[in-house]
Amino acid sequence: GAVVSQHPSRVICKSGTSVKIECRSLDFQATTMFWYRQFPKKSLMLMATSNEGSKATYEQGVEKDKFLINHASLTLSTLTVTSAHPEDSSFYICSATERAGGTQYFGPGTRLLVL
């Protein structure tokens, strides 16, 4: 089956620093990747949708200058949390799909803790 990986799986950083999270599709080409955020005991909240080679589409209320998304190739998308603050601490999950409307395959998630 299709596999999506995320790196790192866990990161702790100081307030004010930037953190980059990678999402990779290992055995398929992902035309579209999605970034979600999940708070404890809550459901997934879509942050943005990215298509290879174009700018990401952000959901309402998500700061695009705060959460920088780059989808430079068909197998890699990155999410950079800039000037992280404790309220950015969360579980970030990416998903990838080969085609628009196709099955989304989810990564294992990255837990971010900002001190």
Partner 1 sequence: KQEVTQIPAALSVPEGENLVLNCSFTDSAIYNLQWFRQDPGKGLTSLLLIQSSQREQTSGRLNASLDKSSGRSTLYIAASQPGDSATYLCAVRRWGTSYGKLTFGQGTILTVHP
Residues lying near partner 1 in the complex (CB under 8 A) are found at 4, 6, 32, 34, 42-44, 46, 49, 51, 57, 91, 93, 95, 97, 100-109, 111
Looking at beta carbons only, is 82 or 89 nearer to partner 1? 89
Closest approach, Cβ 83 to partner 1, in A, equals 26
How far, in Å, CA of 14 to CA of 26, rounded?
A: 31
Beta strands per DSSP E along the chain: 4-7, 10-13, 19-25, 32-38, 44-51, 57-58, 67-73, 76-81, 90-97, 105-106, 110-114
Q: At its nearest, how many Å lie between partner 1 and the CB of residue 44? A: 5
Q: Which is nearer to partner 1, 17 or 29 (CB)?
A: 29
Strand partners, 68: 80
